[in-house]
Structure 1
Amino acid sequence: MNKYNPYFANVKEASRKLIRIGNDQAGEVLARLAELLEEKTWFLLAENQKDLDRMDATNPMYDRLALTEERIQGIAREMLAVQKLPSPLHLRLEEKILSNGLYLEKISVPLGVIGVIYEARPNVTLDVFSLALKSGNGLILKGGSDAEFSNRAIIQLIHQVLREFEFPEKAFLLLPSDREATKALLEAVDFVDVIIPRGSQRLIDFVRQNAKVPVIETGAGIVHTYVDESADFEKAKAIILNAKTRRPSVCNSLDCLIIHRSHLPNLEHLIAPLIDAGVEIFADSDAFAALSSNPNISEANERHFGTEFLSLKLSIKTVENLNQALDHIARFSSKHSEAIIAENQEAIDRFLLEVDAAAVYANASTAFTDGAQFGLGAEIGISTQKLHARGPMGLRELTSYKWVVRGNGQVRG
């Protein structure tokens, strides 16, 4: 027997008690935890620094790993936002009375036990906990070794608050960061209802290929923005700069700028803010020929397209028309977030209709693909698949449903 199975069994058993916890009670826990985060900011920063000291500051993951006083305050605010949201549980999604008198209700219920595998993102531990508690789900967390000290500190505070409120703390488990624990979680068919990986494409591929438990894929973003012939140039400059440089290490940041050929004479002006921000540009042959010599600009090759850079790097693709832009996106997109900048309404409508992605934008930065920004309070991940949930996954996406059937002695002939 796997040595982790008794712990998994404890989570499953304890999670059964969560369905009885009222929305107000869950909210009190989240409010207290948000308060404790600010009280213990010094502790979280000290433990996080131990993780940062082990990572090269030039690593694209460094920014994701880093906690700051401002980020901890932001996490606390998001937790309070989740607290204020209505419960996703016990909602009557559908009801009907059959001709035989049976009364049917379709009622929202928790998924059960959720396993989350993630990399150097300690904020995920808190986001996921707040959503799981509010939606009545047990939780098994498997963070990466890069964030080991941070995650241990966070789960310590979570368990402290759960004990204060006499909640079932065994329903929320943080696994060790070793590979054996990962393998055990992926094979925990009898204990875990769904696994959600958050991280690089490599992590997501590994989970999908090795999991025996159902998987919801999230996270990997190969993001494009197409600047149409009709685009407002100044609007395009601001959107592109924000989408690329706001937080280049996150999954909604821009990876490939697709430019209509008519903008080549002004391309240098368009990307000037990016160059000033230190972005390294990989331009296709047409775009490269339109740009002056610059150490931050080089000619692209095929591998620069379809790459999630997670850093201050950007590829540029030149197209003749909207059709070519749509074809390029269809070929390289990870179905996360895609955008068009245009004033032509027909081009906008076609783009929004035909692009297959979880979030599709017109004249806005893809940086908005985020559970908090979408009004979900927080997110457990951004699903890039189509079964069960798509896009930022908040409280509603962490529920399933059951049919409740009320009768008065009916039997089936």
Structure 2
Amino acid sequence: MTAVIERQSVETQAKKAKQASYVMQTASEEEKNHALLILADELEKNMAFLLKENEKDLDNGRAKGYDEAYMDRLKLDEERIKGFSEGLRQVSELEDPSGVTLEKWILDNGLEAEKVSVPLGVIGMIYEARPNVTADAAGLAIKSGNAIVLKGGSSAIHSNAAIARILREGLTHTKLPEEAVQFISSTDREAARELFTMKEHIDVLIPRGGGALIQAVVENATVPVLETGVGNCHLYIDENADADKALPILINAKTDRPAVCNAAETLLIHEKWLKKYKDVLNAAFNAHGIQVHGDETAVQHMDGAKKAEEKDWTDEYLSLDIAMKVVSGLDEAIGHINEYGTKHSEAIITEDEQTAEEFLNRVDAAAVYHNASTRFTDGSALGFGAEIGISTQKLHARGPMGLPALTTVKIKLRGNGQIR
């Protein structure tokens, strides 16, 4: 198999996706589920090919000096390919979000009204680095009855093209249209800008990646945007935190996969707790190679800590660096989170239930945690199945966006001659 995909204009691909969407919206649940199982098998059958193509991207990344965190997001291995293949199988087992009757009522004139969920139509997906997004997004689009136009970053062009080619060829063995999955092979930025403005063919844009990408889409798109956000996630260790809980949660949130959006980036710590447990905290950070960028108090207490600058409170590290601020209590911690947080995921570690409840109620974020790692803000981890992104906005969808977020509503009205 070759990863070469015929290069077409963005407009041509968007038009093909639009036509395919009309077929997709009437596809049966059985047809969609069967297609997902076929695609999962095809991805695993072509694992050697995928790894070969991925190695081209990794070689380019090494030549360009990408950092370790970026290379981790870019890399495929057998386990990751099996993971997103299995993800497609899991999506096939989820309830179909389309065609669900949400509400029924009868008007005074006898007109029968029914509100039902329907596919959005054509999804435009713009993303960076992670090749698994190609398979995940296509799978969710298919299950929800949508067509999708994929525009991945240039750093993963070979991997994304290979996955897209397998998906499209797999669809030829199903009753669904091959054109329902479109992959823009051009790495020219103009191709992305064209996608931003294809309002007549694209129903919604979903950007997934770093802050610069998301901002570019939000500021320049004329197509409606379902905004996914960067994850400047905070973990607050309260005065009444149990050290035996706090340290494992903190280490997991920071080190399990530092390059993902639900990893902890800022540690807020009560001054009394730090005074009592600074030695064990230092030992834990030293053991895991965590570099602290702290305020004045943190620098005094933490081994090798660097003085934090303003960008340390605002930016994602996506590495084993962590910002650290010592606070006097809950109000100061919440104030800092609401000022610098990206409304993604925030956590408190405390044995005081009242303090925890106040934190959960007052912090403005899509997901808030008590005595648990922020790493659970993930579609599969929360039982939603695969996700197409994590929304930090408040309209239409918030948090991990699974299948229901890829539908809208239609009101069906049945009468017997009513006029107004």
- TM-score grouping bracket, smaller chain normalisation: over 0.9
Deviation at 1:170, TM superposition (A): 1.2
1:202 and 2:212 correspond: yes
CA distance in 1, matches of 2:250, 2:390: 21
Deviation at 1:394, TM superposition (A): 0.5
Q: State the SS of the aligned residue for 1:370.
A: coil
Deviation at 1:307, TM superposition (A): 1.4
CA distance in 1, matches of 2:11, 2:381: 37
Q: State the SS of the aligned residue for 1:95.
A: strand
Q: State the SS of the aligned residue for 1:340.
A: strand
- 2:167 maps to 158
- 2:241 maps to 231
Structure 1 30/386 Cα, relative in aligned 2: closer, same or farther at 3 Å? same
CA distance in 2, matches of 1:135, 1:279: 41
- 8 A contact 2:344–2:367 mirrored in 1: yes
172-181 or 328-337, which deviates more: 172-181
1:285 and 2:293 correspond: no
Q: State the SS of the aligned residue for 1:286.
A: helix
- 8 A contact 1:237–1:271 mirrored in 2: no
- 8 A contact 2:25–2:121 mirrored in 1: no
Query: If the length of structure 1 is used for normalisation, what is the TM-score?
Result: 0.97
1:2-401 paired onto structure 2 within 5 Å: 3-55=9-61, 56=65, 58-175=67-184, 176-265=186-275, 266-292=277-303, 294=304, 297-401=305-409
**Cα shift readout 1:100-154 (whole Å, capped 9, x = no counterpart):** 1111100000011010100101000000011000001110100000000000100
36-45 or 250-259, which deviates more: 36-45
Q: State the SS of the aligned residue for 2:60.
A: coil
CA distance in 1, matches of 2:294, 2:310: 11
Structure 1 3/83 Cα, relative in aligned 2: closer, same or farther at 3 Å? closer
Deviation at 1:263, TM superposition (A): 1.5
Deviation at 1:287, TM superposition (A): 1.5
> Percentage identity across aligned positions?
47
Residue type of the alignment partner of 2:155: D
Deviation at 1:275, TM superposition (A): 2.3
Q: State the SS of the aligned residue for 2:254.
A: helix
For structure 2, list consecutive stretches of 5 or more residues without a partner in the other structure: 1-7
Q: State the SS of the aligned residue for 2:268.
A: strand
- 8 A contact 1:233–1:270 mirrored in 2: no
Residue type of the alignment partner of 2:299: F
CA distance in 1, matches of 2:219, 2:94: 35
- 8 A contact 2:129–2:152 mirrored in 1: yes
**4+ residue segments displaced more than 4 Å:** none
- 8 A contact 1:116–1:195 mirrored in 2: yes
328-337 or 8-17, which deviates more: 8-17
CA distance in 1, matches of 2:167, 2:295: 49
- For residue 405 of structure 1, the aligned residue among 385, 390, 413 is 413
327-336 or 306-315, which deviates more: 306-315
Structure 1 39/271 Cα, relative in aligned 2: closer, same or farther at 3 Å? farther
- 2:3 maps to none
CA distance in 2, matches of 1:156, 1:166: 17
**Cα shift readout 1:62-94 (whole Å, capped 9, x = no counterpart):** 111101111111112211110100100110101
Aligned length: 408
CA distance in 2, matches of 1:410, 1:8: 39
**Cα shift readout 1:271-314 (whole Å, capped 9, x = no counterpart):** 4223212221112111211234x3xx222222211111111110
Residue type of the alignment partner of 1:274: F
- 8 A contact 1:101–1:407 mirrored in 2: yes
Deviation at 1:353, TM superposition (A): 0.5
Deviation at 1:3, TM superposition (A): 4.3
CA distance in 2, matches of 1:48, 1:360: 36
- 8 A contact 2:18–2:201 mirrored in 1: yes
- 8 A contact 2:21–2:180 mirrored in 1: yes
- 8 A contact 2:31–2:176 mirrored in 1: no
